[in-house]
Structures are given as structure tokens and as C-alpha cells.
Amino acid sequence: MKCAGPHRSRECPKPKDTPPKCLHCNGPHTANLTGCPKNPVNRRTFSEAPENAWADPAIIAKIKMPPTPAVEPNPATQFIPRHVQLASNANPPTQEVFFKQMSQMIWNAAGIKNKINQLKYFLLDWKPDILALQETHLNPGDRLKFPNYSSYRTDRLTHRGGGTAILIRNSIDHHPTPIASTTFENTTIELHLPDSTPITISSIYRPPHGSISTLELNNIFNSNSKCIAVGDFNAKHRAWNSGTWNSNGTIIHDYICNNNLILLAPCDPTHFPNHSNNPSTLDFGILKNFSSGDANSINALSSDHNPVSFEIDINVNLPAISKIIKTTNWSKFKQIMSTSLPGNPNIQNIKDIDEAITKLNSAILTAINLASRSKLINGNYRKLPPNIVKNITLRNQIRKRWQQTYDPRYRRTANRLTNQIRREIRDYDQESWKEWLMSLNQEDNSIYIAARKFSRKYIQIPPILDTDVNRAIRRYIDNPKPSSNIKLTSPQEILSLLKRINPRKATGPDGIPNKALKQIPTNVITFITKICNKCLLCNYFPTIWKTAHVLMFPKPRQNRKLPGNYRPISLLSNIGKIFEKIILSRLKEECHDLSIIPNEQYGFRAGHGCIHQLLRVANTVTQGFNHKFYTGGVFLDVRKAFDRMWHNGLIYKLIKFKIPNYLIVILINYLRNRTFRVKLNHTLSDIGSIKAGTPQGSILSPLLYTIYTSDFPKTNQIMNCFFADDTAILAQGSTINYVIHTLQKGLNNIEEWCTLWRVAINTDKTHAVMFRKGTSRKELNTLSFFDEDLTWDKEVKYLGLILDDKLTFRSHLKYNTEKFWAKVHLLIPLIGRRSPLTLENKLLLFKQVLRPILTYAAQIWGLAAFSNRKKAQILQNKILRIIVNAPWYVRNSVIHNDLKIQTIDEFIKELSRNFFQKLVNHTNPTLLDQLNYTHNNGKYAFPYATTKWSTPLKPP
């Protein structure tokens, strides 16, 4: 008991005045301490529950029959309901039995705000795996965070008091599973332990008034096959509380007996009222499908409730928090390596190379292990000084005396010591903070590390499984609605889809090319039709069509050594794509009928293009110029929009928008359990599963993304501009402060929306531009977005067009020049002066490849000054002279006339007239509004001026 050694206590060489060391848990107490969590004498075991005891009424009725004990029950075990049998003492477990335990504690804090420091050091001393808190009295804005623990809370929002929380070690895999209840407050999580069934942990607080609902308890205990509910139930019964009982105690006792549950409560009282000398046991646990456990009331912390420690056997090894420092003796390492490998190995073929590499790796790793020493660091990261620890021990002893005698002198002394300890801990923390600040310097970069750490605001990541979203999906799946009005396909529809497929598209995992599908006879078409109709009727998307071969295409001007700089494209089954097109046509009809897609979204919509969205931006900015307004714009960059789309969020929105049931179920099957294999050259990787996102290459992905972002925040003061995942917001006003304030308000709404729906924004590629004429020396206030400052840029690239703050398009034309010549250098073997290619083909390449680069978005940048437009004309002149191999004395006008090539201005005029003529018959109201700018009134011309028409399409 003194040193935990393998000898008798009287033979221990350790002096008597040294503190003892427990041989069970290595704690600072003797081994026979009743409060030792590892003492086998204190461990209580329960008989294993019969199979199907939870669901079979016959077995439940049999269990409810009380056994006839041979002897009187031990008063120490009276807290166990009578239907639960203790393990027989006649056959004790052998020493080979090893209990793998989970340490869990509960504490009714009665307000935790002023006890944070006490709890922090309590966690460092006891190191529980899980701590369940009740009566936290926290507001939503209060912070509850401890080192190495994740916190989950349910704050009371109606009135003061109440609230529950759970602290769980970060090393334990888990996720929150909120469960609604009205008769008690709860915070619930689910553990995912290795090689074990999930375990539900719930922290419960039931207020003193009212009755607890067994139906709400069923929601907790029906969530998993193994459940643990602990907390302050405010329930008294003779089974666990000496003396009085109340109605809620009877309800809980009957509920435990009727459902074959196990009650785990300490033998000592847990609640000591401040104004009464009637202690009681209100804090206990209820277990489902656990074999053994132990509960002890701990005299610690300052509250009218004692913390309760639970040791529950879960038969799973929990990952421990340990710190290992590994040091390597490099001189010894060199010595080992000098004798482990020959200097001139014999390598003859590829097999020898592989063997040599394997031998080299093995030798290096072996040498490092032999030359290294590992040291495991145990103990607390920070320990309280001995004087504070001594005061805490004294306070606990005096508090224990008061709980036994209720002498008010002990209580006053304990309260005085509690206040003194709180002040000493606060002073100790402040002194430690000062010492740490004084230790920062530039030599070891600690000052920069600290600045970087504290300059980033902590943002809690949304849980993997969400709250309302998951519950709505679970209710929808558990209560399926009958599908009606299913629009089946026909052989004619299949045939029309087959005619439109591209025969040159790559094949998918099944190896069937599109060229073969275009040649199939009628009987095969009807066969495919039958398959698709059965899929529609059964609301099923075949698993074989959910496997993709992923090709990795490098992004331009990116480091190709990094996997993140590749764009994954999925090759899917070509037959599966036919079924996807059938779903797509029906989903588009529903989106149109239900008006789901916002009018501001121009991406992946017929009759909409990038130029239409750029026209809205240019007209808005030009109107601001004419009215002497400022126009601020923020251009957002969504990170991996398709790859990170949240499946459950998308399904939730489909349900919310009332998409037909059969389409929702098919899309659920389409999204879930998808697999992929990366294909590099002719090699396939191992099979991987897709947990989020939609495959880039699927026909459904663009529309699904559009539906997912259809509820983007919208206000009257901000104009939203969408083209797929390219998003911009514009605000306009007569003062700069108003514009900045409006944009900041919009960014705050977008930040909340992105956090809720897990849309990642790349703030490094998000730009802000203030469009205005003239110059100003006044510095603009920065915008804040996801705790990052957005600086004001002079220009931004949006939808392939560089917009500068004065709409001169000088930068865009310079960018076009570089892009144009880069393409010319690739095509020079074909269109060069010495190329044998015919002139007709050279001109075709010019018209189809080179001129579109020069004239992209010319309907917008045609507003540029003549000096800027002339740069594009110079590029066209040069390339035409190269194509025809013209001598120096031939004029450019002669070359244009002979080749019948329009000048840049003439081509822009033709593009613009065709473009604006089509706007008149457009159905999108946001585009019809652009007809209001088809006039030449004002100091600064609108893009409509590029048509060279003198009359407007719509009178101003």
C-alpha cells in the first residue's frame, strides 16, 4: 500500500512518513480505499440481459418476477432494482478477466460561470473520459471550453437556470445526437468505439416540479442498443435513496424494472441542501445492456451536489491521452548504418531494385529505432501549487464534516476556503500568464507563433451529423409516403436521348462506349426502357451505376506535385447516364413548376450565359457612374463546390421544396453509397467511398448544386449575381460608408448561411472592388468575412472578364493579349507562314480558336476607349499577316477585304446586335430589366452602345 510493490506492507522499505501509492490505480491513497475507482472489492457486476429482452414482452414479464433470495440482501446493494441479480460471490472472476472501463462523471454545478477554474483543475486531476454537467446556467453567448475536451451544451432559453452539457475527450470518436424533450433537459452524444456497437450518452436534468415522461425516456433508450443516461433526476426512491420518496422516483423505478434496465447509484448521498439537514441521492445513472459498473460520490468542487464518478465496463480499450518525446542519437545512428548495408549492392533487374529499396527502408527504420529513446510523459500539463492543493484538501475535509454533522461553523469555514481558493487560482493563472508572456522572444519565433495563434478566432466546426436536418431526413425515411404521378419513360424518349449522346465520350467502368449505344436495335431500346421504368417505380438507383473511375486533370498554373491541385472528373456508366437524363428532365420540370431556382442564377440554364450576368454587373456599375453613386462589389470564391456538397443538407432541401417523393428517394439512393477508383494511365486505385459532394461528370450534379444554393441570402439592398458557384454581390449608394455597411451586413448573412450549410469559402480568393469614377485619397474601411479582412482591390476577374474599378477594361485587354499569343505559339505549326495547311483551314482555326479569345465578352468590354480596342485589332492584324504570309507592303485593310474578315469593331457590333435582339423575347425578369438600359442617355454609355444603334430597344 505504500509503494505498490510485490511485498507485504510491513516489509516495504519505503519510510512511513511518505505518502502511500495505490497498487490498483497508482493514486495517492491506500489500496483499500473505498473511493478507489480500480478497487475490485467495490466493483459490482450485473447479470447479462437475456436476448431480445428489450423488445419481447414475454421475456420482460418473466424478468419482472422477483427472485427469491437465499439470504438477506446486503444494504450496500439496496440501490439496485430487485429484478437485477448481482453476480454470485461463490464463483469470483479469475485474474485473467480484464475489464476495459470508461470513466464518466456527473456534476450538478448549480451555475458554472464562477467555477470554471475549479472545474479545469478538477479535470486535470481526475481525467474522466466523459463529464456530464447539469444546471450550467449558461447563456448562448457564454463559452465552455477545456483543454483536450469537446463540449456540447443545451442551454435553457426560456428563463434563468437549468441547462445541461457534456464534456468528452477529443480522442474518443463521437458525434452529437440531439433529442427533443419537454419534461427534462438533456444533452446527448453517441460514441463510436472500435469494434463495438455505438453507445448513447445522455446528460439529464429534470427540474424539481412536474413529472418525467417515460415516452421521452424511450427516445433516449431506443436510440441505440447500448445507452447510458446520467444526471440529476430529482427523483427519490428507497431503491437508491434512504428515507423519503416522491412520485418521480416511483415512475423511474417502475420504468427501470419494466424495461430490464440497470440502475447505477452511489451508496452515499449526492445532494446536501444548504437550508436543510436532509441529504438525498438525486444523481445517478440508468444503463441499458451493460454488464458491470460502479458509482461513488466524490466530496469535491463547490456546489450543493457532489460529483459522482462512474466506472462502467465497456470491454473496449479507449484511446489514452499520452505525450511521447522521442530523441535520437545521430552518432549512434551513423554507426549502425555503416555496418547494416553493403556499399556496392548487386542489382541486376527490376526485382532486385524493389528488394534493394525495401532493404534500405528497413535498415533506416531499424537504425532509428535502435538509436532512439522514447519517454512517456504522464501527469498534468499544469499543476496547482502545494499551498492551493493543501487548501483544497482542507476544504473538502471540512465540507465532509458539515455533510455529516450539519454544523454551521463547518459550512462557514468551507465557504470561506472556497472563496480563498478561487482567488488563489485566479492569481496563480494571472501570474502564469505573465510569465508566459515574458518568455516570448524573437530568437525561437515564439512571439510570432503566439501572435498567429491568438489572431485567429476560434470557430466551432458544425457537427458531422446535424440536428434538424438529420431528424427531418430520418422522419422522412422512416415514414415513407406513397409515390403518385410517376412519369414513366418510353422507347421514344430513350431513342431521342441516344441520338443526342456524343459517341466520342470516354467509357465508364462498365466499358460500354457511346458509339455502341447509338447502334443498338429496337429490342434493346425496349429492354432499357423496362429497366428505367422499374427503377422509377421502385424508387431505386442501381448500385452498379454508382461506381466511378476518376481521372485527375491538373489545374492551370498550379503545382502538380500536390493532389489538391487536380480537378477530379468522374467517368460513369454510359447507360447509367441515360437514366440520369431521365431523372434530370423530371427534376427540371418540378423546379420550374415550384419556382425553386432563383432568377439571379444563370448557370446551367438554357438561354443564360456568362455574358448575361456580366451585362447585369456592367449596367449596374454604369448606372452608378451616371448618378454619381458608388458601387461596391464582393466576388466570392466557393472552395470545391461540387466535391463538398453536404448530402443530408441537399436531401433536406429537396424535402423542404416538396419535390415528388419518388424523385427524392431516387436521389437519396443516387447520393449514398457511391464508390470510386482513381484511374492513372491504366492503373486503378483501391475502392473508396464518397461521403459528400456529387461526381463531377454526372449530368445531375449541376442542377443539384443549383437547388442546394437556391436559398442563398437575399436582401433588397444587395444585388446577387450567380453563375453556378461563381457568386458576386453588389451594393450601391451615394456614400461610401453606406455601401460598405450594406456589404458588411450582407457578408454577415452569407457567413451564417455558409456555416449552417457547410459551404466553404476561400477568403484568399475572395475580392472586393469599389467601382467609382474620379480619385479619392480617403482610405476605405476593410470588410470582414470569416474573421479575415477583405482588402479593396483595383480589379477583379469575374466570369473570365477583368473588371477594373473604372470599367476601362485596360487590364482585361492586356490579359487577353498574353492569352492570345500563348495559344498562337501552340498553333504556329499549323497556321505559321511555312505551314502547308490550306488557307481555308487556317482561317477556320482563326475563327474557331483564336478570335473567340480576342472577342470574349466583347459585348461588355466594347465600351472601352478606342485606344484600348485598337490593341485587339493589332493582334488580329498580326495573326492574319502570319496566316497569309503577307509581305510588309500589303495593307491590313486589303488583307481583311480579300479574306472577308471583319474588323474587331465590326465583329463586336454584329455580336452585340444579335445578343441584345434576343433579350426582348427572354423569360427571365432580371434580364428583361436590362432593357431599361438600352439607350445612350447619360455621360457614360451602357454596353448597349456597342450595337451602334441610335434608338433603344425599350424607351427610357
Q: For position 73, what pLDDT does the model report? A: 36
d(CA 771, CA 762) in angstroms, rounded, equals 23
End-to-end C-alpha distance for the chain, whole angstroms: 97
Strand, coil or helix: what is 854?
A: helix
d(CA 184, CA 375) in angstroms, rounded, equals 47
d(CA 199, CA 894) in angstroms, rounded, equals 84
Q: Which residues contact 822 (CB under 8 A, 6 or more apart)?
A: none
Q: For position 856, what pLDDT does the model report? A: 93
Measured CA angle at 21 (ends 15, 26), to 5 deg: 155
Ranges 95-109, 408-422, 519-533, 560-574, most confident: 408-422
Residue 208: all three cell numbers together: 424539481
d(CA 333, CA 336) in angstroms, rounded, equals 5
d(CA 343, CA 364) in angstroms, rounded, equals 14
Strand, coil or helix: what is 925?
A: helix
Q: For position 629, what pLDDT does the model report? A: 93
pLDDT digits (tens, 9 = 90+) for 122-149: 888 888 889 999 999 988 878 888 888 8
d(CA 597, CA 806) in angstroms, rounded, equals 32
- Residue 129: which of 3, 302, 309, 287 has the closest Cα? 309
Strand partners, 153: 165
**pLDDT category of residue 388 using cuts at 50, 70 and 90:** confident
**The pLDDT of residue 509 is above 70:** yes
pLDDT digits (tens, 9 = 90+) for 8-23: 665 677 766 677 777 7
Distance of CA 156 to the CA centre of its chain: 26
Of 226-230, 355-359, 720-724, 935-939, the range with the lowest mean pLDDT is 355-359
pLDDT: which is higher, 897 or 457: 897
Strand, coil or helix: what is 132?
A: strand
Q: For position 71, what pLDDT does the model report? A: 37
**The pLDDT of residue 458 is above 80:** no
**pLDDT category of residue 64 using cuts at 50, 70 and 90:** very low
Positive or negative, the CA dihedral 80, 82, 86, 88 is positive
- Residue 709: which of 748, 663, 653 has the closest Cα? 653
Positive or negative, the CA dihedral 341, 343, 349, 350 is positive
Q: For position 142, what pLDDT does the model report? A: 83
**pLDDT category of residue 505 using cuts at 50, 70 and 90:** confident
**pLDDT category of residue 441 using cuts at 50, 70 and 90:** low
d(CA 123, CA 315) in angstroms, rounded, equals 24
**The pLDDT of residue 704 is above 70:** yes
Q: Which residues contact 635 (CB under 8 A, 6 or more apart)?
A: 726, 727, 728, 766, 767, 768, 769, 796, 798
pLDDT digits (tens, 9 = 90+) for 636-650: 988 877 777 888 888
d(CA 85, CA 99) in angstroms, rounded, equals 19
- Residue 161: which of 219, 111, 220, 223 has the closest Cα? 111
d(CA 450, CA 869) in angstroms, rounded, equals 52
pLDDT digits (tens, 9 = 90+) for 935-950: 777 789 999 999 988 7
Q: For position 839, what pLDDT does the model report? A: 86
Strands of 672-734 (E only): list them.
674-680, 683-684, 688-690, 718-723, 726-733
Strand, coil or helix: what is 275?
A: coil
Please, which contacts does 720-724 make with residues 24 or more away whose CB atoms are closer than 8 Å?
Answer: 720/598, 720/600, 721/600, 721/613, 721/616, 721/617, 722/598, 722/600, 722/601, 722/602, 722/603, 722/613, 723/601, 723/602, 723/603, 723/610, 723/613, 723/799, 724/603, 724/604, 724/641
Of 126-130, 491-495, 515-519, 924-928, the range with the lowest mean pLDDT is 515-519
